Amino acid sequence: MNIKLVVVGKLKEKYFKQGIAEYAKRLSRFCKFEIVEVPDEKAPESLSDAQMAQVMAKEGERILSKIKDREYVYALAILGKERTSEAFAAEIKQLTTYGHSDITFVIGGSLGLDSAVLKRADTQISFGKFTLPHQLMRLVLTEQIYRAFMINEGSPYHK
């Protein structure tokens, strides 16, 4: 099984890198785990709607270039469907049971995801209505993927 995160921008803080590295190491017994970073589009602080759309489109093209046809794609979106950890684990288990061995999660840039990426996604997932820094979201997502595998294994980790 392959789990890939396609993310916009680089991780800067050492503590996020360390946390993600720890969960990536733990995930290695369940799957091949990979993070693919695409560059964020440089933009001034205040953008017009047209400029925002242009930035999101460029980031979207970079994201889509890293996704293969066979991959099942989760787009992280504030308007996506919220799930419990148990429901998420069941979904991952069901996907793998029915032949989806390549699962990709997409975290967009600071402006969000382009509509082309949302259209390509098989599903949208939300971690609530809070706005979280993208670097923190990477850590939270990685931990939740690990938690899903632990739930599916029947491990006490989840409790």
CB neighbour list of residue 69: distance below 8 Å, 6 or more residues apart: none
Determine the Cα–Cα distance for residues 28 and 14; give it in Å rounded to an integer: 21
CA-to-CA distance for 63 and 124, rounded, in angstroms? 15
Please state the domain extents for the chain: 2-44+58-158
Give the pLDDT of residue 43.
Answer: 82
Tell me how far CA of residue 102 lies from CA of 26, 67, 95, in angstroms.
Answer: 18, 10, 9
pLDDT in tens, the chain (159 residues): 999 999 999 999 999 999 999 999 999 999 999 999 999 998 888 899 999 999 999 999 999 999 999 999 999 999 999 999 999 999 999 999 999 999 999 999 989 999 999 999 999 999 998 888 889 999 999 999 999 999 999 998 867
Q: Which residues are annotated as a binding site?
A: 76, 108
Reported CATH class of domain 2-44+58-158:
alpha beta
Q: How far is CA 142 from the centre of its chain?
A: 8
Mark the binding-site residues for S-adenosyl-L-methionine, compressed into ranges. Answer: 76, 108
